[in-house]
Amino acid sequence: MPGRFKLTNSLIKEKADQIRKRITTNMHTANYICFTIDLWSNRQMKAFLGINGHYINNWEMHSAMIACNRFIGRHTGENIRNEFDKVVSTYNLENKIACVISDNASNMVKTFKVDIPGFKNSLDGDTESDTECDETDDKVGNDDENLETVDVEHESFFPKHLRCYARSQQLVVRDAFKNCGRELKKALTKAASIVNHVRRSITATELLEGEKRLQTATVTRWNSQLMMVRSVLSVDAKKLEEVNAPVKLTSFERKLLNELCEVLKPFEFATTIVQKEKSVSASLAIPTTLQLKHNLKELKNTAKLEHQTVKFIDILEESIDSRLIRYEQEDEYVLATMLDPRFKLDWCTQNFSKHEDLLVSKLRQTSVTECEETSPPRMVSKGDFFSFMDNVRSPARKRHQSGKTTCEVERYLSEPYIHRNDDSLKYWSSHSKVSPGLAEFASKYLTIPCTSAPVERLFSIAGKIFRPDRCRMNDETFHNLIMIKCNSEAKNA
């Protein structure tokens, strides 16, 4: 058996180097790499910068942890960018970056708006507030209005930055919880009080033995509050009264909480599907937003809801329009949705020609003559989340008759949609020779994850490595351990 020093200074390092070399080779065979990036601090208040790489090889989605480096200094956009550049340079991936995904903190937003010599920079003098995660900057126009547009020829200096969709969705729900009516707030407060009482009382815990365990809510995850409410409602009202909590839920309050669960059920499902790491997710952002709006409208029009619940829905609708509208305006998400054969342009109710022209312009072709063509048939299944598309038929589109790449776009858009449960990458694997230009774009835009959840999962693993009895672990050993842990499962990725 090797000793502790050999294990730490030799064997772990050698294994980490092997894995690092493997993922470097794999990433270099990919055409494009997308990065998810975030900052984290352990219990000893040491900060680390985590970076995950996401790419498509042989039409399969892969991801790899490429860095979880110690971050020293203020958490300003400039410092984060310098560390990011070092990591990218180490792997020699500068020319493969498709985009970077992060949360909505102001310092992360500013990270990829760094100054270029000769261009005005509004970010000089970052304030100390950049150290904190300011998620209130998520609304459209808060951070871009004072920034000058950079010339296209300098675009390579700026990796395209996109904000985490799941985090924006969380802020939508948080807005509703924050501004909901007094009765609903009172019911939520009572539910939280009951949970706290049961989890601190041995007698109450014994009385509820055999029942579903009551869940506590956390600040970082909105759906934990939904889980808390459900766990309280799952216990019979009479049995819940026996625990002698300081407060009790009335029948009206239980009705409000039940309606709340029904309203937030689609949001819970949407949060789950957009955070998938091993499948295409960028194409889900826009259809998910439209489906949520459709669900809220349908629920308000068809169900008999209390006034407090209707107000809650109104706040959700308003917040969706202010926080999630940006994703319908991002070319990357529009193109990813168009290049997903499950959706194409079926989600689009207006600006149909504009979106088609965007794809055509990306292939650098012009149009001459036009003709009319109806939308292709779509394959759906019962219980499909994106059911709003069943009632949306894209208008007749103008078909361009000239240009090889233009015909490639026409052929793709006129083909039948694949089933919503099918794999989009398998479609492009079989059509890469038929539509080589579009397949190239698909390998770029479908690589994009629409959330920063993958890098946040990295920190969950990091927290387990930094156990109290490992508090003296040096940074190199930690990085080698997490490199092995996060990348050892997908050996052929």
Q: What is the 3-state secondary structure (H, E, C) of the chain?
A: CCCHHHHHHHHHHHHHHHHHHHHHHHHHHCCCEEEEEEEEECCCCCEEEEEEEEEEECCEEEEEEEEEEECCCCCCHHHHHHHHHHHHHHHCCHHHEEEEEECCCHHHHHHCCCCCCCCCCCCCCCCHHHHCCCHHHHCCCCCCCCCCCCCHHHHHHCCCEEECHHHHHHHHHHHHHHHCCHHHHHHHHHHHHHHHHHHHCHHHHHHCCCCCCCCCCCCCCHHHHHHHHHHHHCCCHHHHHCCCCCCCCCHHHHHHHHHHHHHHHHHHHHHHHHCCCCCCCHHHHHHHHHHHHHHHHHHHHHCCCCHHHHHHHHHHHHHHHHHCCHHHHCHHHHHHHHCCCCCCCCCCCCCHHHHHHHHHHHCCCCCCCEEEECCCCCCCCCCCCCHHHHHCCCCCEEEECCCHHHHHHHHHHHCCCCCCCCCHHHHHHHHCCCCHHHHHHHHHHCCCCCCCHHHHHHHHHHHHHCCHHHCCCCHHHHHHHHHHHHHCCCCCC
- Return the domain boundaries, the chain: 4-163+452-487, 169-323, 330-445
| Per-residue pLDDT tens digits for 148-196 | 333 333 344 467 889 999 999 999 999 999 999 999 999 999 999 999 9
pLDDT 10s digits, 218-242: 877 888 889 999 999 999 888 888 8
Residue 405: its pLDDT value, please?
55
pLDDT tops 80 at residue 278: yes
Return mean pLDDT, the chain.
81
Average pLDDT over residues 251-280: 92
Mean pLDDT score, 325-334: 89
Model pLDDT, residue 107? 87
User: For the whole model, what pTM was predicted?
Assistant: 0.80
For 7-31, the pLDDT digits (tens) are 888 898 999 999 999 999 999 999 9
Predicted confidence at residue 154, as pLDDT, reads: 39
